[in-house]
Chain A
Amino acid sequence: MSIKTHLEILPGSLRIVLGAGFVALALFPFVATDFYAQMVARMMILGIFAMSVDLLLGVTGLVSLGHAAYFGIAGYALAFLSPQDGPVNLWWSLPAAVGASALAALVIGFFVVRTKGIYFIMVTMAFAQMVYYLFFDNKALGGSDGIYINFKPDAVAFDLGNKLAFYYFTLAMLLAVYVFLRRLLFSPFGRVLAGIRVNEHRMRALGYGTFGYKLAAFTLAGALAGLAGYLGAAQTGFVNPELMGFHMSAHAIMMVILGGMGNFAGAIVGAFTFEWLLHFFQDLPQIGSFNAGKHWQLWIGLFIVLVVTFASRGLLGVAARLVTRKDSAQGSAE
């Protein structure tokens, strides 16, 4: 029997690399053009979203194919809360939007968390499609065209309309969510979620009410997806049903698998890599009559197949293997 070990505890040298990556993110706006800073802000938002998916997928072992619903609901909440003629206050609209996503996840989770395996996947997808069409078919909810958000939320102390301020606010959120989830992972609650992933039957025999734990994880993941969705809507100034669509959910799962499941750092790495690859492949040149850029999804698909085949623990798993090999090589030399 093979033992699938998740990379939970990150090797010391990898932590240094991640710390350096964070410093690079903090310095990035000073060296990059506005366009690239915006792009990286979007990557960070997707990083938060991917981490929320990882809480279910990598930690608890729940494959939700409908997680984008909670991303979109908070975005729509911001759209509805914003008046036509001015901004809405950030400090109450953000908790309200996150709360709306959490509530939706709690209610939907109450039904889906009872199901297992393939049924869980199908039911999460079905609920997300219901939410999608609820917005898509209702003119009052913006319909298929979506809704514009004309003003960025008002943060009072600073101006989110300023691209630099928005960038650093997003970076702070990314870091806060990461630190919170890392801490949660090694808390009693996080250990129970990991136990459910590995062997839920045994957890129940040990006296754990796994339903409550899974519902709590599902709700928390919905809330964090909502945080990302709020930021995403605030950044683009626009929401439409595609935010809640199947593609959005599937992309988030690909990000987590690409980066490496179960440690949240992988989710961030995966989100950045996925977005970068997307731009890279879309910009591929025309070769004769073959437009390589138009088929970006094909290349991204190929890349993910390669990663899953040759590095099942994702890019972070590859990095961890490289650094631990170097560590042990140094150890034996001493």
Chain B
Amino acid sequence: MSDVLLAASNLTKRFGGLAAVDDVSIDLQLGRIHAVIGPNGAGKSTLTNLLSGDLPPTRGRVMLNGADATGRNPEQLSRAGLGRSYQKTNIFLPFTVWENVRLAAQSREPHLLAWLKLANNFRSINENAERAIELAGLAQRRNAVAGTISHGEQRQLEIAMTLATAPRVLLLDEPLAGMGSAEAERMVQLLLKIKPGHAIMLVEHDMDAVFALADRLTVMVNGKVIASGTPVDIRADAGVQAAYLGETAYE
């Protein structure tokens, strides 16, 4: 499949004797959302950290856009077109929404030696930042200080910053965490909007959102993949129901 932008094969991460991620393979395709679900401690966040370069894998390989990206650091992967959002909101709290996103956009054209030109005067950076803010639905809040906006808006900002770096591959670590139902619905709409141009991995606990968004599902338990397939397959999988989905998905 030529549309596979990120392919991880046989990834393992050991912390001492514990295999937090154990022989996991996952493909992310352009225009598709691949959801990773599993109970707490299943290794979903560790997997995200392995793919984003925040942690080096003990074993296994990561291919990004056809090139070997195993063991590269977050800066290099970001420049190679990978963007991630964090489970715990990770933004610049004292800066305005605009400055958060503008700084993200600036990373694509750093202007290392422009020491005397004002940062706000670079047109293409501003346009990229503006587009990301618009897309994330934060245009009304652009001058608010990031630390003062609501939790849901901070999650939107997180996505806007990631989008401003113009990534092709997106790793979204629980973008709906802690959101009310109205906010969650807005986030689902946002993810549907950005889906066509990106290859997305979605780690999420909200099963309604997962089944509304995902084209493929991978279920992890204790660091291992116990099932992978289309939402229909996963729903029907007896092992998954026993291990994890249980009643919650069918309430």
Contact = CB atoms under 8 A, between A and B. Distances in A.
Interface in A180-218: 180, 183-184, 186-192, 194-195, 198-199, 201-210, 212
Contacts of A5: 94, 145
A208 B122 CA distance: 18
Interface stretch (B18-26, B32-40, B109-117, B177-185): B109-117
Contacts of B92: 195, 198-199, 202
B52 A205 contact: yes
A192 B106 contact: yes
B205 to A, nearest CB: 22
A6 to B, nearest CB: 7
A190 B119 CA distance: 8
B116 A198 contact: no
Dominant SS among interface residues on chain B:
loop
A183 B147 contact: no
Contact of B103 (A184, A186, A192): A192
Interface residues of A, number: 30
A326 B106 CA distance: 37
A202 B90 CA distance: 7
B56 to A, nearest CB: 15
A208 B110 contact: yes
A1 interface: yes
Contact of A1 (B74, B90, B103, B147): B147
A267 to B, nearest CB: 19
B132 interface: no
Interface in B12-71: 52, 54
A8 to B, nearest CB: 9
A3 interface: yes
B114 A188 contact: yes
Interface residues of B, number: 39
Interface string B150-161: 000000000001
Interface in B112-133: 112-120, 122
A188 B91 contact: no
B99 A191 contact: yes
Interface in B80-94: 84, 86, 90-94
B90 A188 contact: no
A207 B119 contact: no
B84 A184 contact: no
B73 interface: yes
B72 to A, nearest CB: 12
Contacts of B93: 1, 3, 198-199
A205 B114 contact: no
A187 B106 contact: no
Contacts of A195: 92, 95, 103
Consensus secondary structure, chain A interface: helix
B165 interface: yes
A210 B75 CA distance: 9
Nearest to A211: B75
A208 B111 CA distance: 12
B158 to A, nearest CB: 10
Nearest to A190: B119
A183 B119 CA distance: 10
B115 A184 contact: yes
A194 B75 CA distance: 18
A203 B178 CA distance: 24
Contacts of B107: 206-208
Interface string A1-40: 1011110000000000000000000000000000000000
Given A189-B112, A189-B114, A207-B107, A6 B79 contact: no
A194 B99 CA distance: 11
B218 interface: no
Contacts of A194: 95
Contacts of A188: 106, 110-111, 114, 117, 119, 122
B116 A201 contact: no
B236 to A, nearest CB: 37
Contacts of B115: 183-184, 187, 189-190
B143 to A, nearest CB: 13
Nearest to A191: B119
Contacts of B94: 3-6, 198
- 10 nearest A-B pairs in the assembled complex, by CB-CB distance: A207-B78, A3-B147, A207-B107, A188-B111, A206-B107, A191-B119, A207-B79, A188-B119, A198-B92, A205-B74
Interface of B: 52, 54, 73-75, 78-79, 84, 86, 90-95, 99, 102-104, 106-108, 110-120, 122, 145, 147-148, 161, 165
Given A198-B92, A204-B75, A205-B54, 19 more contacts: A3-B93, A4-B94, A183-B118, A186-B118, A187-B114, A189-B112, A190-B119, A192-B106, A192-B110, A198-B94, A204-B74, A204-B78, A205-B52, A206-B78, A206-B107, A206-B161, A207-B108, A209-B75, A212-B112
